[in-house]
Chains A and B, each alone.
Chain A
Amino acid sequence: MSKLELVRALYDYNEYANNRVLETAAKLGVDELQRKQGTSFESVAGNLAHIMGAQVLWLERWRGNKNRRSLTAVQSLRALGLLREAFDASHADLRVFLGNLTDDRLDAVLAYTDSAGTPYERVLWQLMLHVGNHGSYHRAETAMALTALGHNPGDLDYSYFEMAREAGNVS
């Protein structure tokens, strides 16, 4: 068993869980979507935009591209339809990247600069774990906000994802 299988599973789960939260967010009115709820990025929309923005920016770095857009610009979306489109595009891009990924590449050191221009070197698998975990963290906050607004997204447990996948209920 390779680590690549585990990293791919983490990102399949990430997409499944993002979609679950987006489906629940679709039940909110525009005001509720942007209402301040005490989450890291203030509202359900703000948090969703941050999760999506992190996915987009980190994938650009993994592909060797410089920071072509700032995180602030990427995560400025607030309308759910636009967020949904951006997530769909990000998930599709991640699927392509993961499909071409190898174990050797996961172990390779990647040089990148953050948005402030500070240079870093990190092993790719560490960065990929970070983005997967980052999504789980901010989805939990988003789920809290959705629940407070009367729309509990339900359990987002990894085991439920694997059960749904085994039953053929994950596209």
Chain B
Amino acid sequence: MSKVELLRAMFEYNEWANDVILDACGSISEEELRGKQTISHDSISTLLVHTLATQIYWLGRWRDELFAGMPMAEQGRALESLREAFAPSHEGLRKFVAGLTNEGLAKPTAMPEFSERMKGVDLPLWQVMMQIIEHGIHHRAEIQSALTGLGHPVQDLDYIIYEADRARA
């Protein structure tokens, strides 16, 4: 197994874990989804938007496309609209990782100019892809904690549970 295959496994896990969280958010009201929480982005809704926007932004960069803008949690149908926006992001990521090669993973990737800390820094593509994976794990943990605080515990998001689910399927 190569590094590419490992990254494919991690992105498949990322999609599975995002879907588990989105399903879990179905058990709270839109008011709770938008309610203030002591997490890094005010509410579960804004944290979902942030996680999704990061996926969309970086996939666009990897494909040399312009950022189409921040996804929105639409009023009255916040969760549904976020689900609709996550779906093409996941589909795009699946296509991108399917076409990856080990050589392509070494491609220097410029970090965003809007970040003073990262301006002028290039990282190999695989390191940026690892950033997206770790970023997703971090923010899903915050959302899971907020959901538990609202009385809606979420199933474990452990990687081995994902692998067990996949083996059963």
Contacts and interface: CB of A to CB of B under 8 A. Distances in A.
A39 interface: yes
Contacts of A159: 111, 118, 123, 127-128, 131
B2 A1 contact: yes
A130 B9 CA distance: 12
A163 B121 contact: yes
Interface of B: 1-7, 9-10, 13, 38-40, 102, 105-106, 111, 117-118, 121, 123, 126-128, 130-131, 133-135, 137-142, 145, 148-149, 157-160, 163
B2 A140 contact: no
Contacts of B127: 9, 158-159, 162
A126 B148 contact: no
Interface of A: 1-3, 5-7, 9-10, 13, 38-39, 103, 106-107, 122, 125-127, 129-130, 133-134, 136-141, 143-144, 147-148, 156-160, 162-163
Contacts, number: 108
Contacts of B158: 130, 133-134
9 contacts: A1-B106, A5-B3, A9-B130, A106-B1, A127-B160, A136-B141, A140-B138, A140-B141, A159-B111
A55 to B, nearest CB: 14
Contact of A3 (B3, B38, B131, B135): B3
A10 B145 CA distance: 24
Given A9-B130, A133-B159, A3 B141 contact: no
Across the A-B interface, give the 10 residue pairs with the lowest CB-CB distance, nearest first: A140-B141, A130-B159, A159-B131, A158-B134, A140-B138, A3-B6, A158-B131, A130-B160, A136-B137, A1-B3
Given A126-B160, A133-B159, A144-B145, A10 B130 contact: yes
B145 A39 contact: yes
A144 B37 CA distance: 11
A163 B10 contact: no
B134 A129 contact: no
Contact of A136 (B39, B121, B128, B134): B134
A132 B159 CA distance: 9
A162 to B, nearest CB: 5
Contact of A126 (B131, B135, B149, B163): B163
Contacts of A134: 158-159
Given A129-B9, A141-B142, 18 more contacts: A1-B3, A6-B6, A6-B126, A107-B1, A122-B160, A125-B6, A129-B10, A129-B13, A130-B158, A133-B137, A133-B158, A134-B158, A136-B134, A136-B137, A140-B137, A140-B139, A158-B131, A158-B134
